[in-house]
Amino acid sequence: MTAARKTPAACLIGWPAAHSRSPLIHHYWLRQLGIEGGYNIEAVPPEEFAEFVLHLSTHGFVGANVTIPHKERALALTRPDQRARAVGAANTLWYEGDELRSTNTDIEGFISNLDACAPGWDAASDALVLGAGGASRAVVFGLIERGVARVHLANRTVERARALADQFGAQVHPVSWDVLGELLPRADLLVNTTSLGMHGQPPLEVDVGRLPQQAVVADLVYVPLQTPLLATAQARGLKTADGLGMLLHQAVRGFELWFGQRPEVTPELRALVEADLTKA
Ligand code: ATR
């Protein structure tokens, strides 16, 4: 339990409290903007989560990030915005007056990173999204909100892709994994939201050579930083957006809500987090 503090502080609530880059990111911004504030990691087991969240301010916090396994529970215990409801999980909590609100910042993390890495990407009319889990929901919501006409959704378990299409409507077209190759030639944007290509996971077998020349490729995986998918896309001269960029951009909104200033994702911040990831 954390005592009430004079300077505003936020925290990351998880169980177990896994090694997270969030403190590094928020401490960098606090320093850079000259704000006196804090960001702690709080290991809270599931049976204590409700008590902790419902008394977040008495624990000394102006807000929080929430990670595994608490994200769905956080939604139920707070008043979620449209984004958190659409994704079905909250990762950022803040107070609006006395009321504890929640949002999901993965959507803007994904979209802002694309804007930064591949300006003009939103001329895309056809997107191909791989995976239909929680991360995919954030990506699909962001793409639809930004006006992408068709989102083809390929997943190993096609039923999950269908369920997502049912939720998000007619712009989302569920497809089975084995027709992936046929969709590549008309995909303006390819996004990997699966764990394939991550260290210790099987590789992602996608023939990037079949994508159109103007295609943009995004990968949510950030360990390794440069996935084989991104490396082959870059070798072909395609624009890419990586998972670390999304991680950094998704942290912006929380900081702004808690500390009142909108921070920037700078090359210096990226280098700091990259160094931390590569030493792990
Ligand atoms: P997250 O919240 O990060 O999206 P998730 O909900 O566990 O995580 O989803 C993981 C995604 O990676 C799913 O789309 C999963 O496919 P299934 O729905 O068929 O499980 C996909 N995935 C994981 N391992 C995979 C593999 N070996 N081959 C193909 N897809 C895989």
86-141: per-residue pLDDT in tens?
999 999 999 999 999 999 999 999 999 999 999 999 999 999 999 999 999 999 99
Specify the pLDDT at position 23: 97
Q: Which residue has the tokens 């360990």?
A: 223
**Residue of the CA atom closest to atom 5 of ligand 1:** 133
Specify the pLDDT at position 19: 81
Q: Which residue of 70, 153, 156 sits with most ligand 1 atoms within 8 Å of its CB, as the best mutation to test the pocket?
A: 156
Quick check: 15 pLDDT over 50? Answer: yes
8 Å CB contact between 248 and 274? no
How far, in Å, are 15, 17, 52, 60, 65 from residue 56 at the CA level? 16, 17, 6, 7, 11
- Indicate whether residue 139 lines ligand 1 (CB < 6 A): no
Burial class from Cβ neighbours inside 10 Å (0-12, 13-18, 19+) for residue 177 reads: middle
- Indicate whether residue 206 lines ligand 1 (CB < 6 A): no
How far, in Å, are 53, 122, 133, 145 from residue 151 at the CA level? 36, 12, 15, 12
Rg of the chain (C-alpha set): 19
For residue 109 the two structure tokens come to: 């993390």
**Residue of the CA atom closest to atom 9 of ligand 1:** 133
In SS3 terms, the chain reads as: CCCCCCCCEEEEEECCCCCCCHHHHHHHHHHHHCCCCEEEEEECCHHHHHHHHHCCCCCCCCEEEECCCCHHHHHHHCEECHHHHHHCCCCEEEEECCEEEEECCHHHHHHHHHHHHCCCHHHCCEEEEECCCHHHHHHHHHHHHCCCCEEEEEECCHHHHHHHHHHHCCCEEEEEHHHHHHHHHHCCEEEECCCCCCCCCCCCCCCHHHCCCCCEEEECCCCCCCCHHHHHHHHCCCEEECHHHHHHHHCHHHHHHHHCCCCCCCHHHHHHHHHHHHHC
- Indicate whether residue 194 lines ligand 1 (CB < 6 A): yes
- C-alpha–C-alpha distance, residues 168 and 137, integer Å: 9
- C-alpha–C-alpha distance, residues 220 and 133, integer Å: 12
Distance 131 CA to ligand 1 centre (A): 6
Q: Which residue of 110, 194, 222, 247 sits with most ligand 1 atoms within 8 Å of its CB, as the best mutation to test the pocket?
A: 194
Specify the pLDDT at position 236: 97
- Indicate whether residue 243 lines ligand 1 (CB < 6 A): no
What tens digit of pLDDT does each residue of 45-69 get?
999 999 999 999 999 999 999 999 9
- Over residues 146-156, the mean pLDDT reads 97
pTM recorded for the entire structure: 0.95
**What ligand 1 atom has the least distance to the C-alpha of 136?**
4
Residue 150 β-bridge partners: 126
Note if 6 is an active site residue. no
Quick check: 18 pLDDT over 80? Answer: no
Average pLDDT of the chain?
95
- Over residues 164-172, the mean pLDDT reads 96
- Indicate whether residue 157 lines ligand 1 (CB < 6 A): yes
For residue 26 the two structure tokens come to: 């928020």
- Indicate whether residue 104 lines ligand 1 (CB < 6 A): no
Tell me the CB-side half-sphere exposure of residue 34, using CA atoms within 13 A. Answer: 0
**Residue of the CA atom closest to atom 11 of ligand 1:** 194
What tens digit of pLDDT does each residue of 22-40 get?
999 999 999 999 999 999 9
Q: pLDDT grade, residue 280 (50/70/90)?
A: low
Distance 19 CA to ligand 1 centre (A): 22
- Over residues 258-263, the mean pLDDT reads 98
What tens digit of pLDDT does each residue of 215-246 get?
999 999 999 999 999 999 999 999 999 999 99
Specify the pLDDT at position 1: 47
Distance 136 CA to ligand 1 centre (A): 9
